[in-house]
Amino acid sequence: MIPTNFTILALVCIGLAACGAVALYLVGGLVYVVVWAVRATRRPGRHRAPRGGIPTTAAAVDSLAGLHLLRRCAAEDRHTLHEIHADGSATCWVCQVTTPKGDDS
């Protein structure tokens, strides 16, 4: 059977539609990757700590008051989130035990 003009036209249109769909899919994927990369650089909380780490001198204790840091909890025997107080002591968020200043080894 010899294909007619209508059959050839239909096959060409189907081929163009398939190529267009693949191109649209690839462009959409590229846009997604670019947006993801830009947002990844702007997320909060991804900043590096200062080289000296967290200050532990007596002068810096007042600046730490009210912060929530990971410290070793004596009651839990693991590192948990603690609220630092103005006097240098820390209260564990898990068990509510307050450890005195300097007892965070």
98 in Cβ contact with 89 (< 8 Å): yes
52 in Cβ contact with 60 (< 8 Å): no
| pLDDT at position 22 | 92
96: left (phi over 0), alpha (psi -120 to 50) or beta: left
C-alpha distances in Å from residue 32, one per residue of 26, 27, 37: 10, 9, 9
Mean pLDDT by 10 residues, the chain (105 residues): 76 89 92 85 59 58 69 82 82 85 64
- What amino acid is encoded at 91 in this protein? T
| pLDDT at position 10 | 86
| pLDDT at position 71 | 82
| pLDDT at position 23 | 93
Domain ranges for the chain, please list them.
Answer: 1-47, 58-99
